[in-house]
Each structure stands twice: as C-alpha cells, then as structure tokens.
Structure 1
Amino acid sequence: MSTWQEFAERTPELAARVRARLEAFQHHVLATLRRDGAPRVSGTEVAWRGPDLVFGSMPGSRKAVDLQRDGRFALHANPGAPEDMMGGVDVKLAGRAVEVTGDEHRAWVEEVGPPSPDSHLFRLDLTEVTTTGVAEDQTHLVITRWTPTEGVRIFKRT
C-alpha cells in the first residue's frame, strides 16, 4: 500500500493525470463493502491534505460505517460528459481508507469547518491506480495500471 505522496513520487506523470481528472469534477463515486459483503456505492468528494488524498463524511454515514468495519474501497473519478473525455482518461483507484482521528482530525475540523465537528475524515492509501483512454489513432484502448509492487504497466486492447 502507498500514500498519495509515495504514488506521486514514484510516478509523477501518471499522478498528475490522475489528479487532474479528480480535480476536474467535484463529485466522484466511492464503493465500499456492506456488512454482508455486498458492494455499496456512494457519492463523495476528495481533496488533498498535505501529502494525503482524503475525503470527509457525515457522522455515522453508511460509507463511514462500512469503512470503519472494512477499509477496502474503490473510487471511480467522475468521467464527465462524453465531450469531457476527449483526450482524457477514465480514472479508478483502489486501496484502504484509514480514518484520521485525534489531533490531525481536530486540525482538519478547525481548518475546513465541516457541517459537524463529528464528521469523519479518511485518508486513502492506494493499492492500485488505473487509467483507461483511447489511443491517439482511435484504434485501441490504452490501460495504464500502477500498483506499489509492480509499478506501471501499460496494456493495449482492441
């Protein structure tokens, strides 16, 4: 597993593309695991806090409870309208969400002023980052996959 900063230091070009897609739109889709193991999807917003990719959540929200029980997540960046994808990439991240508590949480509450001081803050540690885009010649998909153990691998699909 890697923090956002570790990912960005290892693959700065890929990290810049992923960050640009995440910053292009405010709302993204987060997948968590329900108690029975079924997937749950929720809307979320992400931000960078120091070296970390994070998101906040209302107190006791289903996604927060899911992540407190099992931190595994998948995040699909908002692809926008079809015209927004022209020349862009589809972005997906996976890993473990770690709840931020204590002094760091208090500092976030003071700085950001979430709707409730009991709001949750999660740091996203990454196990996989994937981008999918169409090749310049429009003949195939180009899938770039990064993991902390394998680094960057590029696949082409026709």
Structure 2
Amino acid sequence: MTSGTPVNWAGFATAVPAPADTVGARFGAYTHHVLATLRKDGSPRTTGLEVRFLGGELWLGMMPGSLKALDLHRDPRFALQANPGDGAGMGGGDVRIGGRAVEVEDAGARAGYAEEVKPPEPFHLFRTELTEVVRTRVEDDRYLVVEIWRPGEPLRTVRR
C-alpha cells in the first residue's frame, strides 16, 4: 500500500493491530457516536450516528434523504468521533477516524448488512475508506499522548 491510499477497517487492523483493537473497543463501548460531514457551503455538520464493524469494514447506515447522507453524496469526506460517554470510561482514550464514505449499491452487500443489523428500510449504506485514525490520551497524569496513523505510514506518537 502506498502512503495516502485509503484502506478499509481490515487494512487498518492489519497495519497496526493493537491500536485497532483499542479504537474498536472505544467505538464498541457505546452505540451512538458523532459524525462530521461537510455541508453544501463547506461548513461542518455534526450529527449522531450508529456505526458497525462487520466483515473487515466500518459501515455507516443512514435514513433515506438524511442531511448527512446528502452531504456524503456531495463530498465523501468525514470525521467520526467516538462517544466519550461521561468521561470516566475513557481508559482507551479519545478516538477519531477520518476518511471517505462510499455508498454501497451492491444488493448482496446491502442484504448482508441488513441481515446482521436489521435497519429500517429503506436506508443508505456507506463503507468507509480510512485516511487517518487518531487516539488522544493522558499518560501518567502528566503527558498528553497523541497517536496518529495514516495508510502507508508507521504509527506516529507525540507526547506533550
């Protein structure tokens, strides 16, 4: 894989298994998370969203005609922030995933998702192509530690 080429969830998990486990656990701790998309005028829109990790993919399902789906049709870039909950359960740190969302029209893929998730019909279904994963945490009550991963690059850790 070349630097900057987006990967799916399985590609991220293969590249950096331990961080992927932590990120997956943070998203798995809660059902709802925050999705940021770009409005028609370029300003950000944040909305709640459920996400699913199935078959090596990170999936985003949405109601038909939702503003976030319309945003992603216009500009597929997104950022997805894990729900921090009450803050007490953030032992895994704060995590964010950035990338592009690609709408899935394939009937087989949609049926597999629907069988597993049971979303209300009809629905938009997007698979994600990851361009960045960031984890921020506090270490030893002294340091802010930021771990940044991008496709084709090693995990970079910054301590402040």
Interval containing the TM-score (normalised by the shorter chain): over 0.9
- The separation in 1 between residues aligned to 2:83 and 2:158, in whole angstroms, is 22
Amino acid at match of 2:148: R
- The separation in 1 between residues aligned to 2:131 and 2:47, in whole angstroms, is 20
Counterpart among 28, 51, 56 of residue 61 in structure 2: 56
CA shift, 1:82, in A, is 2.2
Q: Are residues 1:8 and 2:13 paired? A: yes
Q: Are residues 1:75 and 2:90 paired? A: no
Q: Are residues 1:132 and 2:129 paired? A: no
Q: Which runs of structure 2 are paired with 1:95-110 in the superposition (5 Å)?
A: 95-103=99-107, 104-110=109-115
Match of 1:20 in 2: 25
Any idea what the Cα deviations from partners look like across 1:14-62, whole Å, max 9, x if unmatched? 0000000000011100000001101000100111121101021000100
Unmatched 5+ stretches in structure 1: none
Amino acid at match of 2:105: T
CA shift, 1:109, in A, is 3.0
CA shift, 1:111, in A, is 4.3
- The separation in 2 between residues aligned to 1:110 and 1:80, in whole angstroms, is 29
Amino acid at match of 2:145: V
RMSD: 1.2
Identity level (%): 51
Match of 2:124 in 1: 120
Change (3 A) 1:111 1:89: closer
CA shift, 1:113, in A, is 2.8
Any idea what the Cα deviations from partners look like across 1:54-105, whole Å, max 9, x if unmatched? 02100010000100111000001001112112x3310001000111112222
The TM-score normalised by the length of structure 2 is 0.92
- The separation in 1 between residues aligned to 2:116 and 2:50, in whole angstroms, is 17
Counterpart among 95, 120, 140 of residue 91 in structure 1: 95
Q: Are residues 1:34 and 2:39 paired? A: yes
- The separation in 2 between residues aligned to 1:71 and 1:122, in whole angstroms, is 10
Unmatched 5+ stretches in structure 2: 1-5
Amino acid at match of 1:13: A
- The separation in 1 between residues aligned to 2:56 and 2:87, in whole angstroms, is 31
Contact 2:23 2:92 in 1 (8 A): no
Q: Secondary structure at the match of 2:83?
A: coil
- The separation in 2 between residues aligned to 1:5 and 1:31, in whole angstroms, is 22
